[in-house]
Amino acid sequence: MKILTASQIKEADKITMNNQEISSEDLMERAATQVFKEIHERLQGADIPIKVFCGVGNNGGDGLVIARLLLEHSYKVKVFIVNYSDKRSPDFLSNYDKIKNLSNDWPVLLKGEDDFPEIAMGDFVVDAIFGIGLNRPLEGWVAKLVNFINKSSAFVLAIDMPSGLFSDKVSEEEDAVIKANFTLTFQTPKLVFFLPSTMDYVGEMQVLDIGLDRAFLSEITPSAQLIGRQEARSLYNPRNKNSHKGNFGHVLVVGGSYGKIGSVVLATTASLRTGAGLSTVFVPKCGYEIMQTSLPEAMVMTDENYEMITDIKTDLDADVVCFGMGVGRDKSTIVAFKELLKKTKKPMVIDADGLNIFSENNELLQYLPENSVLTPHPKELQRLIGEWTDDFDKIKKVQDFIRKYRLIVVLKGAHTFVFEQGNIYINSTGNPGMATAGSGDVLSGVISGLISQKYEPLFAAVLGVYLHGKSGDISAEKSSYEGMISGDIAENMGLAFSDLLSENKTNPGSD
């Protein structure tokens, strides 16, 4: 699902109104009706106090329409106008008139702190103060109102965006931003919903299709894409019945050191569970028995050295080489890595200490085959590209980095971002149970397993991240966030594939 910027959404609005011959008020009615339907479906006429806070722009206009429809369905609604400006949008004004005509209980005008209403636990608050039009941080009593709502124990539903959140830059720590339990957003999710510094404001998120112009939406180049089941499914390559293991490639995993052979076990298991035809590992001698015993499906080659990798002597022409997990940063390992880089022509997957070696030896990056996949977590990324000022600056710096070295970067996190030149793919699967030792090793194995099966490295990264997260979700369902371990993610890869290929789910951009 495409993620658009505020200006792209505004352009889509204009084109839609033109092509569908509707007014902006019609579009507002349509959008807010969708919101009403969602609320109504969940509340089913329940007798709970609903407090709708409306700004005086179009986000506030949406709030007024939602409130009117709720009143028409006999909900217990109280409307508050957050009167931060005298400049009211025309569509706000016409809906203001409509709601006044409907009820004797007119909206309450809020002009300062003294007017704040009581918000009780059990209230249902609708935040329609600001949407994508926010252009400066909230201040004064409006900022205080936002903090007041945040302090209440009410359930908060944000319309389009949590108020105070910018759509195209991150908020400062001191800024007042609504902390929503749920955000119903129009037509397309916004990039800030997925950034580490802003995602917590959004709560659970659902996208409402408000029927913006299809042709425009399909042609426009998005700022990023959200990868849900449908998008991941479109990347899947079915297997030919007439095939043999040679068709599914050979993965070589190079990694491990004394006490860290487990990371190689995890990555290699994941590569096989993802469908690699063959997997070979290259480990220090201390890893030989561990590998043969814990993963008989893999073939094992060993270094001369017992504890660490010092010389990667192999003529194996693997389809993909995965390097880095548990490998350490000894000088002799760095030399061995350099030699490996020089003789490898096919795209590689580099994780963990492989990345740290690059951070300390930048000159090695020039030997990395084009289209290789780097899978840093934020700390590893920072060592690699330096500090950033905020999440948008980070995105720019990653894009500069991949342009320079012609790579694919998989930035791991609660929402993992896959970067290729000019594009960002944001993952929708995964859960906090995956914050457990070794889940990154599993991801490297999954991506390698897909590359070996002839997926383009970019698609291997995007699909791999999706399936890894899905397997994490299945693992959490079975064992809880706390109880799941990263080996479960590797073991459940098969169920993640089954889920991807099952026929009964069609919701785009979600799971």
Ligand X SMILES: Nc1ncnc2c1ncn2[C@@H]1O[C@H](COP(=O)(O)OP(=O)(O)O)[C@@H](O)[C@H]1O
Q: Which is nearer to ligand NAX, 99 or 484 (CB)?
A: 99
Minimum distance of ligand NAX from residue 31's CB (angstroms): 4
Decide: 497 and 448 in contact? Cβ < 8 Å: no
* Burial class of residue 38 in the structure, from the number of CB atoms within 10 Å of its CB (0-12 exposed, 13-18 middle, 19+ buried): middle
Alpha helices (runs of H) in 158-278, residue ranges in sequence order: 214-219, 229-233, 262-273
HSE toward the beta carbon, residue 178, CA cutoff 13 A: 30
Q: Which residue has the tokens 């015993």?
A: 293
Could you tell me the CA-to-CA distances from 267 to 319, 387, 466 in Å, in that order? 16, 29, 16
Torsion sign (Cα): 56, 61, 63, 69: positive
Instruction: Kindly state whether residue 440 participates in binding ligand X, applying the rule CB under 6 A.
Output: yes
Q: Which is nearer to ligand X, 124 or 193 (CB)?
A: 193
Q: Which is nearer to ligand NAX, 136 or 241 (CB)?
A: 136
Is 393 annotated as a binding-site member?
Answer: no
Q: Which is nearer to K ion, 167 or 356 (CB)?
A: 167
* Amino acid at site 94: S
Q: Which residue has the tokens 């940063």?
A: 329
Instruction: Kindly state whether residue 480 participates in binding ligand X, applying the rule CB under 6 A.
Output: no
Is 133 annotated as a binding-site member?
Answer: yes
Instruction: Kindly state whether residue 439 participates in binding ligand X, applying the rule CB under 6 A.
Output: yes
* Residues written for the chain: 511
Instruction: Kindly state whether residue 160 participates in binding ligand NAX, applying the rule CB under 6 A.
Output: yes
Could you tell me the CA-to-CA distances from 226 to 56, 179, 257, 462 in Å, in that order? 31, 22, 37, 10
Is 250 annotated as a binding-site member?
Answer: no
Minimum distance of ligand X from residue 435's CB (angstroms): 4
Strand partners, 322: 253, 349
Instruction: Tell me, letter by letter, the H, E, C secondary structure of 430-463.
Output: CCHHHCCCCHHHHHHHHHHHHHHCCCCHHHHHHH
Minimum distance of ligand X from residue 225's CB (angstroms): 17
* Strand, coil or helix: 271: helix
Q: Which stretch binds K ion (CB under 5 A): 105-113, 122-130, 230-238, 367-375?
A: 122-130
Pick from 159, 312, 443, 465 the residue near K ion by CB under 5 A: 159
Instruction: Kindly state whether residue 85 participates in binding ligand NAX, applying the rule CB under 6 A.
Output: yes
Instruction: Kindly state whether residue 431 participates in binding ligand X, applying the rule CB under 6 A.
Output: yes
Pick from 195, 434, 461, 496 the residue near ligand X by CB under 6 A: 434
Minimum distance of ligand X from residue 80's CB (angstroms): 35
Which tokens in the block code for residue 441? 């090793």
Pick from 53, 75, 186, 455 the residue near ligand NAX by CB under 6 A: 186
In whole angstroms, what is the distance from residue 311 CA to residue 294 CA? 24
Pick from 412, 425, 455, 457 the residue near ligand X by CB under 6 A: 412
Is 400 annotated as a binding-site member?
Answer: no
Instruction: Kindly state whether residue 159 participates in binding ligand NAX, applying the rule CB under 6 A.
Output: yes
Nearest to 90 by CA among 132, 56, 129: 56
Instruction: Give φ, ψ of 166 to 5 degrees.
Output: -80, 150
Nearest to 374 by CA among 436, 458, 272: 458
**Binding partner at 460 among K ion, ligand X, ligand NAX, none, C-beta below 5 to 8 Å by kind:** none
User: Residue count at the site for ligand NAX (CB under 6 A)?
Assistant: 29
Could you tell me the CA-to-CA distances from 151 to 128, 129, 177, 200 in Å, in that order? 17, 17, 12, 15
For residues 356 to 395, the per-residue mask of contacts with ligand X, x marking binding by CB under 6 A and - elsewhere, is ---------------------x------------------
In whole angstroms, what is the distance from residue 294 CA to residue 269 CA? 9
**Binding partner at 440 among ligand NAX, ligand X, K ion, none, C-beta below 5 to 8 Å by kind:** ligand X
**Binding partner at 412 among ligand X, K ion, ligand NAX, none, C-beta below 5 to 8 Å by kind:** ligand X
Is 26 annotated as a binding-site member?
Answer: no
Minimum distance of ligand X from residue 493's CB (angstroms): 13
In whole angstroms, what is the distance from residue 247 CA to residue 226 CA? 31
Pick from 3, 27, 126, 489 the residue near ligand NAX by CB under 6 A: 27
Pick from 164, 430, 445, 487 the residue near ligand X by CB under 6 A: 430
In whole angstroms, what is the distance from residue 126 CA to residue 221 CA? 32
Strand partners, 108: 80
Count helices and strands (H / E) in the chain. 17, 18
Q: Which stretch binds ligand NAX (CB under 6 A): 105-113, 129-137, 191-199, 408-416?
A: 129-137
Minimum distance of ligand X from residue 364's CB (angstroms): 20
Instruction: Give φ, ψ of 111 to 5 degrees.
Output: -125, -5
Instruction: Kindly state whether residue 438 participates in binding ligand X, applying the rule CB under 6 A.
Output: yes
Instruction: Kindly state whether residue 443 participates in binding ligand X, applying the rule CB under 6 A.
Output: yes
Residues engaged in binding ligand X (CB under 6 A)? 377, 412-414, 416, 430-432, 434-435, 437-441, 443
The footprint of ligand NAX (CB under 6 A) covers: 9, 13, 27-28, 31, 55, 57-62, 84-85, 89, 130-136, 138, 159-160, 186-187, 210, 212
Residues flagged as binding site for (6S)-NADPHX? 58-62, 131-137, 160, 326, 377, 441
Residues belonging to the binding site for AMP are 412-416, 440
